Amino acid sequence: MRPALLLLSLLLPLTLVAGCGGKDVPAGADPAQVDSKKVPTVGACRNLRRSDIAAPTNAGKLRPCTEPHNAETFASGELPAEFKDADYHEPDLEVWAYRACGSALTRHLGATDSVVMRAILSWVWFRPSQKAWDDGARWYRCDVIGGGAGSRVYLDLPTTTKDLMATQPDDHWMTCARGTDPDHGAKLPCSQQHSWRAVTVIKVGEPDDPYPGDAAVAKKSKSFCASSVAAWLGYPTDYDYAYTWFHAPEWKAGNRKSVCWAKTAQ
């Protein structure tokens, strides 16, 4: 499964324009990349839109990483041999990508899982076009995006995001929210005025545990986050907290953690 960022329903339609050789090319795409069988280059930068992020493939034009951009390719390669004869929309592809891109992003940023899960950054993955897939192409591309679920805009990234969070992360890259409920409020960098801050990540299961059901995960998340946020705040007598927990698809892909939020005065 893709992160929640990739499941946004407010999608813009792709506008097709005439391309070279009579081929239809999406607006803003590079014709040379549209049906490419070549593994994408790590370190390449682009500007992606929500419609791009929701699509299975992308041929967005490259731009110098020294210029404004909101996406950077941090991992790419050939898909495992098990997908040689897979259908283009094989569900196990999403599970594989969730694990591969997620772990690769943690290494790329030089951070822990806890920090990455609380970052305003997210990731998206792409595969070849349907035509290239049918011709045998089996590459993948993982891009880090300057935004997350509920972000109103995507942030510009630095020239490189390599080891961006290897030291104490700047608030500009950490996730906060406005509103009465952080899960449904607008997500924004903690450097901006906010009502909630994602402060800790708690474990709700072991790697080999079967999914215990929505109610059980929500109950454990609530209990653990109450204690975790209290500790983060220094055990005040009165405080507000919230929690974001994940469902069976994310559990299947390997996630066993929930995010805890603290109500802030800022």
C-alpha–C-alpha distance, residues 138 and 172, integer Å: 36
Q: Which residues of 246-263 are buried (b: 16+ CB within 10 A; e: fewer)?
A: beeebbbbebbbbbbbbe
* pLDDT tens track, the chain, 266 positions: 334 333 322 223 333 333 334 456 777 788 999 999 999 999 999 999 888 888 999 999 999 999 999 999 999 999 999 999 999 999 999 999 999 999 999 999 999 999 999 999 999 999 999 999 999 999 999 999 998 766 778 999 999 999 999 998 899 999 999 988 898 888 899 999 999 999 999 999 999 999 999 999 999 999 999 999 999 999 999 999 999 999 999 999 899 999 999 998 76
Judge whether 161 and 121 are in contact, CB under 8 Å. yes
C-alpha–C-alpha distance, residues 105 and 112, integer Å: 10
Phi-psi region of 49 (alpha: psi -120 to 50; beta: other; left: phi over 0): beta
C-alpha–C-alpha distance, residues 106 and 79, integer Å: 20
C-alpha–C-alpha distance, residues 157 and 253, integer Å: 27
Strand pairing report for 139-145 and 71-78: antiparallel
pLDDT at 2: 36
pLDDT at 23: 54
Judge whether 190 and 171 are in contact, CB under 8 Å. yes
Judge whether 75 and 227 are in contact, CB under 8 Å. no
What are 201's two structure tokens? 């990540």
pLDDT at 17: 33
C-alpha–C-alpha distance, residues 102 and 84, integer Å: 22
Q: In what order do the strands lie in the sheet with 196-203?
A: 187-189, 175-177, 196-203, 257-263, 241-244
Phi-psi region of 120 (alpha: psi -120 to 50; beta: other; left: phi over 0): alpha
C-alpha–C-alpha distance, residues 108 and 172, integer Å: 18
Q: What is the pTM of this model?
A: 0.84
Judge whether 16 and 25 are in contact, CB under 8 Å. yes
- Sequence-ordered list of residues with C-beta below 8 angstroms from that of 172, at least 6 positions apart, any chain: 120, 155, 189, 190, 191
| Sign of the alpha-carbon dihedral angle for 2, 37, 58, 154 | positive
What would the 3-class secondary structure string for 9-76 be?
A: CCCCCCCEEECHHHCEEECCECHHHHCCCCCCCCCCEECCCHHHHHCCCCCECCECCCCCCCEEEEEE
Judge whether 251 and 214 are in contact, CB under 8 Å. no
